[in-house]
Amino acid sequence: MAKDYQPRMHSAEHMLNAAMDRKFKCGRCFSAHINKKKSKCDYKYKRGMTDEEAAEIEMTVNAAISANLPVTDDLMLVEEAEELFNLERLPEDAETVKIIKIGDFDTCPCIGEHVDNTSEIGEFKIASHSFDDGVLRIRYKLGAV
Protein backbone atom coordinates (compact mmCIF):
# COMPACT_ATOMS: atom_id res chain seq x y z
CA MET A 1 0.00 0.00 0.00
CA ALA A 2 1.08 3.58 -0.56
CA LYS A 3 2.75 5.42 2.31
CA ASP A 4 -0.18 7.84 2.66
CA TYR A 5 -2.93 5.20 2.35
CA GLN A 6 -6.17 6.24 4.06
CA PRO A 7 -8.04 3.32 5.71
CA ARG A 8 -10.74 5.73 7.04
CA MET A 9 -11.47 7.15 3.58
CA HIS A 10 -11.27 3.75 1.94
CA SER A 11 -13.70 2.24 4.46
CA ALA A 12 -16.04 5.21 3.88
CA GLU A 13 -15.87 4.43 0.14
CA HIS A 14 -17.21 0.93 0.86
CA MET A 15 -20.07 2.40 2.87
CA LEU A 16 -20.87 4.98 0.18
CA ASN A 17 -20.94 2.19 -2.42
CA ALA A 18 -23.38 0.17 -0.33
CA ALA A 19 -25.66 3.17 0.24
CA MET A 20 -25.59 4.14 -3.45
CA ASP A 21 -26.41 0.65 -4.65
CA ARG A 22 -29.26 0.31 -2.15
CA LYS A 23 -30.83 3.60 -3.21
CA PHE A 24 -30.04 3.75 -6.93
CA LYS A 25 -29.29 0.10 -7.89
CA CYS A 26 -26.18 1.43 -9.66
CA GLY A 27 -23.62 -1.07 -8.43
CA ARG A 28 -20.32 -0.09 -6.88
CA CYS A 29 -18.29 2.82 -8.22
CA PHE A 30 -16.22 2.03 -11.32
CA SER A 31 -13.58 4.60 -10.38
CA ALA A 32 -12.46 6.03 -7.05
CA HIS A 33 -9.70 8.40 -6.00
CA ILE A 34 -8.99 8.30 -2.28
CA ASN A 35 -7.17 11.24 -0.65
CA LYS A 36 -6.66 12.30 2.93
CA LYS A 37 -8.77 15.49 2.73
CA LYS A 38 -11.34 14.72 0.01
CA SER A 39 -12.12 11.66 -2.11
CA LYS A 40 -14.35 10.91 -5.09
CA CYS A 41 -16.33 8.02 -6.50
CA ASP A 42 -17.75 7.72 -10.03
CA TYR A 43 -20.88 5.70 -10.82
CA LYS A 44 -22.42 4.82 -14.15
CA TYR A 45 -25.93 6.20 -13.93
CA LYS A 46 -28.66 7.75 -16.04
CA ARG A 47 -29.05 11.09 -14.25
CA GLY A 48 -27.70 13.41 -11.63
CA MET A 49 -28.54 13.21 -7.97
CA THR A 50 -30.70 15.80 -6.22
CA ASP A 51 -29.50 17.57 -3.07
CA GLU A 52 -32.25 15.73 -1.17
CA GLU A 53 -30.94 12.37 -2.43
CA ALA A 54 -27.39 13.38 -1.47
CA ALA A 55 -28.62 14.23 2.04
CA GLU A 56 -30.33 10.83 2.25
CA ILE A 57 -27.13 9.02 1.20
CA GLU A 58 -25.17 11.04 3.76
CA MET A 59 -27.69 10.14 6.47
CA THR A 60 -27.57 6.43 5.56
CA VAL A 61 -23.78 6.30 5.67
CA ASN A 62 -23.59 8.26 8.94
CA ALA A 63 -26.20 6.03 10.58
CA ALA A 64 -24.10 2.98 9.71
CA ILE A 65 -20.91 4.69 10.94
CA SER A 66 -22.66 5.56 14.23
CA ALA A 67 -23.68 1.92 14.68
CA ASN A 68 -20.02 1.11 15.48
CA LEU A 69 -20.01 -1.83 13.08
CA PRO A 70 -17.06 -4.22 13.10
CA VAL A 71 -14.98 -4.35 9.92
CA THR A 72 -13.66 -7.85 9.29
CA ASP A 73 -12.00 -9.77 6.50
CA ASP A 74 -11.98 -13.40 5.49
CA LEU A 75 -10.57 -15.41 2.64
CA MET A 76 -12.95 -17.11 0.23
CA LEU A 77 -12.24 -19.49 -2.62
CA VAL A 78 -12.63 -17.80 -6.00
CA GLU A 79 -15.19 -20.42 -7.05
CA GLU A 80 -17.43 -19.42 -4.11
CA ALA A 81 -16.80 -15.67 -4.47
CA GLU A 82 -17.62 -15.52 -8.18
CA GLU A 83 -21.18 -16.62 -7.40
CA LEU A 84 -21.61 -13.61 -5.09
CA PHE A 85 -19.38 -10.83 -6.41
CA ASN A 86 -18.03 -9.23 -9.57
CA LEU A 87 -14.45 -10.51 -9.79
CA GLU A 88 -13.50 -9.14 -13.24
CA ARG A 89 -10.59 -7.16 -11.74
CA LEU A 90 -9.14 -10.20 -9.98
CA PRO A 91 -5.95 -11.73 -11.46
CA GLU A 92 -6.73 -14.88 -13.45
CA ASP A 93 -4.40 -17.08 -11.36
CA ALA A 94 -5.95 -16.12 -7.99
CA GLU A 95 -7.25 -19.02 -5.93
CA THR A 96 -8.65 -17.02 -3.02
CA VAL A 97 -10.03 -13.52 -2.56
CA LYS A 98 -10.19 -11.34 0.56
CA ILE A 99 -13.78 -10.42 1.47
CA ILE A 100 -14.35 -7.31 3.58
CA LYS A 101 -17.47 -7.21 5.73
CA ILE A 102 -18.73 -4.05 7.45
CA GLY A 103 -21.24 -5.41 9.93
CA ASP A 104 -24.41 -6.24 8.02
CA PHE A 105 -24.06 -3.06 5.92
CA ASP A 106 -21.59 -4.07 3.20
CA THR A 107 -19.67 -7.10 1.97
CA CYS A 108 -17.31 -7.09 -1.01
CA PRO A 109 -13.94 -8.33 -2.25
CA CYS A 110 -11.08 -5.90 -1.63
CA ILE A 111 -7.31 -5.94 -1.13
CA GLY A 112 -7.13 -2.53 0.58
CA GLU A 113 -6.62 -1.57 4.20
CA HIS A 114 -9.63 -0.74 6.35
CA VAL A 115 -10.51 0.46 9.84
CA ASP A 116 -11.37 -2.15 12.49
CA ASN A 117 -14.66 -0.49 13.42
CA THR A 118 -16.81 2.16 11.76
CA SER A 119 -16.35 4.34 14.88
CA GLU A 120 -12.86 5.09 13.49
CA ILE A 121 -14.22 6.73 10.31
CA GLY A 122 -15.70 10.01 11.57
CA GLU A 123 -18.61 11.95 10.12
CA PHE A 124 -19.22 11.40 6.40
CA LYS A 125 -20.03 14.52 4.37
CA ILE A 126 -20.80 14.78 0.65
CA ALA A 127 -18.83 17.84 -0.44
CA SER A 128 -20.38 17.96 -3.92
CA HIS A 129 -21.97 15.84 -6.63
CA SER A 130 -22.14 16.25 -10.39
CA PHE A 131 -23.32 14.44 -13.49
CA ASP A 132 -21.67 14.41 -16.91
CA ASP A 133 -22.05 12.03 -19.84
CA GLY A 134 -23.51 9.12 -17.87
CA VAL A 135 -21.18 9.51 -14.88
CA LEU A 136 -22.46 10.50 -11.45
CA ARG A 137 -19.50 11.79 -9.41
CA ILE A 138 -19.64 12.16 -5.65
CA ARG A 139 -16.92 14.01 -3.75
CA TYR A 140 -16.80 13.39 -0.01
CA LYS A 141 -14.79 14.21 3.08
CA LEU A 142 -14.64 12.99 6.65
CA GLY A 143 -14.81 14.80 9.96
CA ALA A 144 -12.37 14.26 12.78
CA VAL A 145 -12.67 11.09 14.83
Tell me how many domains the chain contains: 1
**Is the residue at 2 inside a domain?**
no
* pLDDT one-digit tens code per residue, 78-128: 999 999 998 988 888 899 999 999 999 999 999 899 999 999 999 999 999
* Helix, strand and coil percent figures for the chain, each rounded to 5: 30, 30, 40
**Is the residue at 66 inside a domain?**
yes
The pTM of this model reads 0.94
Please give the backbone phi and psi of residue 130, each rounded to the nearest 5 degrees, phi first. -150, 165
* pLDDT one-digit tens code per residue, 42-76: 999 999 999 999 999 999 999 999 999 999 999 99
User: Distance between CA 7 and CA 25 in Å, rounded?
Assistant: 25
**Is the residue at 1 inside a domain?**
no
Could you list the residue range(s) of the whole structural domain that residue 63 is in? 7-142
CATH classification at residue 69: 3.30.980.10
**Is the residue at 110 inside a domain?**
yes
**Is the residue at 19 inside a domain?**
yes
**Is the residue at 23 inside a domain?**
yes
Distances (CA, A) of 134 to 47, 86, 106: 7, 21, 25
Q: CA 19, 54, 144, 10 torsion: positive or negative?
A: positive
**Is the residue at 48 inside a domain?**
yes
